Amino acid sequence: MFTSLISGTWSQLRTLGMVFLHAFRRRETVNYPDEEVYLPPRFRGRIVLTRDPDGEERCVACNLCAVACPVDCIALEKGEKEDGRWYPSSFRINFSRCIYCGMCEEACPTSAIQLTPDFEMSEYRRQDLVYEKEDLQIDGPGKDHDYHFYKVAGLAIAGKDKGQGPDEAAPVDVKTLLP
Amino acid sequence: MSWLTPMVMEVLIAMSQALVILLGALLLGAVMTVVERRLLGLWQDRYGPNRVGPFGSLQLVADMIKILFKEDWIPPFADRALFVLAPVIGMASLLLAFMIIPLTPNWGVADWHIGLLFFFAMAGINVYAVLLGGWSSGNKYALLGAMRATAQTLSYEVFMGLSLMGVVALAGSFNMRDIVAAQQGLWFIVPQFFGFCTFLIAGVAVTHRHPFDQPEAEQELADGYHIEYAGMKFGMFFIGEYIGMVLVSALIVTLFFGGWLGPWLPPFVWFALKTAALLVLFVLLRASLPRPRYDRMMSFGWRVCLPLTLINLLVTGAAILLLAPAGT
């Protein structure tokens, strides 16, 4: 009992000393509004809609992001251009619901929806946190600089038929294979 | 002026001294709430409250404004009279105990020959604050907390009294000034080291400070006995805890570290410096030690501290008798 008492007391005193020495350590907190916070490039913050390298909207209104969203904060409607391309005629993200999980970004087949290192989007009114398409759309390609969905998708749209993309083979005529 | 006789002057001076000490103790208790948060921040590698005023110095004002304007709510199922009385007892008993502490050779409220006993009496009354507060809240967590607090305080008061008897025996008096005077050559922490250790532990337990804060254990009891309190009534419990911390620090300084004694600096500065060092120790205890299980704490009190104080008292008595000049 005496040995455990002495070793226990020593352990407590050692703890006191170690914690006291933390007085001379660097403080880990950042005085945020006064000092800038470093956000890594892959930080999951405000969601944006990007454009492809040609400056066209990447989003093809496939609704995969809305399906993947665990809190159902994404809502969009499909529109179709004359050349056959789909685009979202409206795109709405309710950031008061969004949990910034990044599932939409993972689900997106065209790299259109992306999360950016920005979290300073506080509002006094909750309604102001509902972002419409014009609030979400940016001019650049975001993180994925060269990706152009329609060039690699093998899909026939106006001005590009099947098999005319960079890495595409000409479509196989399945009927000629018949005996 | 005819009525301004030397006696009246004496009374006035004594009254103003008492008032200054009262306000000083109250203010120090309030300031400690902020100082503690800053110190905890320092030891946990963060800042603590530093936004209000330079270095967070006005945080206290902000806290006061906030707590004063809170709704002073009494739950409908509570026992009104006791519910209101409990925080008053909690703060007043600890404030009253400041009477016996001599700050400097001339400063101090009461110079009684029962000095130290008065502190024990007030510490005993302080149990009622927790007990009544927990009981009158009509809440099971509050009751559990109050029960723990009562059992803990009673068992730690047993050896708190005994741990100081060595000091009293060495000084030959309960009077605080005599005790300080008896430490002229050697502070009592040297001959009464185990008395100091046990009194420190008991003092932490009596003020419900961190390693012994089972009565208010946030994780299990959701704040214990003051769970139903809000506004300034909670504030009184809260400040009362810090006043208790200041009180125990000042007592330890007086009893074991020679009170105002010290070279070069004026007596009050020595007293303040020593008290501040002990207050920092209190915060450091909170910053570093985890909360032990309740039954372990009780068994530590009864099976380790109580025998230790008894042995200490026996050895002290034997030493006094052996070293006393023959024939006295």
Q: Of B77, B97, B74, which Cα lies nearest the Cα of B86?
A: B74
CA–CA separation, B77 vs B137, rounded Å?
7
Paired tokens of A81: 């251009």
Extract the tokens encoding A113: 């929806």
Cα–Cα distance measured from residue B143 to residue B227, given in angstroms and rounded to the nearest whole number = 10
- pLDDT in the model for residue A97: 92
Residue type, A11: S
Q: Which chain A residues have a beta carbon less than 8 Å from that of B287?
A: 19
pLDDT at residue B2 greater than cutoff 80: no
pLDDT tens readout for residues B85-112: 888 888 888 888 888 888 877 777 777 7
A117/A90 Cα distance (integer angstroms): 24
Measured N-to-C along each axis, helices B267-288 and B6-43 cross at an angle, to the nearest 10 degrees, of 30
Rounded Cα distance, B176 and B182, in Å: 10
Q: What is the ipTM of this complex?
A: 0.71
- Compare all CA atoms of chain A with the CA of B287 and give the residue at the minimum distance: A19
A73 marked ligand binding residue: no
Q: How confident is the model at residue B328 (pLDDT cuts 50, 70, 90)?
A: low
Q: Please check whether residue B112 is in contact with residue B103, taking contact to mean a CB–CB distance below 8 angstroms.
A: no
Give the model's pLDDT for residue B217: 64
pLDDT of residue B216: 67
Cα dihedral sign, A120-A125-A126-A127:
negative
Instruction: Report which of A69, A113, A106 is spatially closest to residue A91, judged by C-alpha positions.
Output: A113
Mean pLDDT of B226-255: 85
Contact B97, B123 (CB under 8 A): yes
Q: Which residue has the tokens 């009114």?
A: A125
CB A147 within 8 A of CB A59: no
Q: Where are the domains of chain B?
A: 70-322
Residue B254 pLDDT greater than 70, yes or no: yes
Say whether A91 sits in a helix, a strand or coil. Answer: strand
Q: What tokens appear for A124 in the block?
A: 């006094």
How distant is the Cα of B31 from the closest Cα of chain A, in angstroms?
20
The residues pairing with A88 across neighbouring beta strands, listed in sequence order, are A78
CB contact under 8 A, B288 and A18: yes
- On average, the pLDDT of chain B sits at 83
Query: How many Å lie between the alpha carbon of A12 and the closest alpha carbon of chain B?
Result: 7
pLDDT class of A99 with cuts at 50, 70, 90: very high
The ranges assigned to domains in chain A are 47-145
List phi, psi (to 5°) of B325: -60, 140
For B89, B168, B190, B191, B324, the CA distances from B328, given in Å and listed in that order, are 45, 18, 25, 22, 7
Quick one: B264 exposed, middle or buried, by C-beta within 10 A (0-12, 13-18, 19+)?
exposed
Q: Kindly state the average pLDDT of the residues B73-77.
A: 83
CB contact under 8 A, A19 and B42: no
Q: Is the pLDDT of residue B262 over 80?
A: no
Give the CATH architecture of domain A47-145: 2-Layer Sandwich (3.30)
Interface test with A, best of B40, B42, B283 (most A CBs within 10 A): B42
The shortest CB-CB distance from B287 to any of A19, A28, A31 is to A19
- Nearest-Cα residue of chain B relative to residue A25: B45
Among residues B280, B127, B287, B274, the alpha carbon closest in space to that of B205 is found at B127
Residue of B210, B284, B308 to mutate when probing chain A, most A C-beta within 10 A: B284
For residue range B160-200, what is the model confidence (pLDDT) as tens digits?
Answer: 888 888 888 888 888 888 888 888 878 877 788 888 888 88
Chain A interface, best mutation among B36, B37, B39, B43, by max A CB count within 10 A? B43
